[in-house]
Structure 1
């Protein structure tokens, strides 16, 4: 059960961090489709942050 609780807590932050890393690497290594990938990958954490701020728990 400990492993399940760990992944329940850290799965989404890990995925957001991985997306950020993918976006940064793709932005630094190429042009064309990699630019589009970097925009999408770096825009997703920003959109999630905006959504979280708009839907704060009470």
Structure 2
């Protein structure tokens, strides 16, 4: 886990649900950034992340 993972996790969480990064733990945010398992996300949420992946990892 790195600060980059944290930053990416926050960006992903905020794209999926604005304000949600404040409710997640450090570990949850890092896991979000490094996981390729998006079973928890709706199709719309997955599309949002995929469409904005360039801004997330920039």
- TM normalised by structure 2 equals 0.32
Greater C-alpha Rg = 1
- TM normalised by structure 1 equals 0.32
Larger relative contact order, structure 1 or 2 (CA cutoff 8 Å, min sep 6): 2
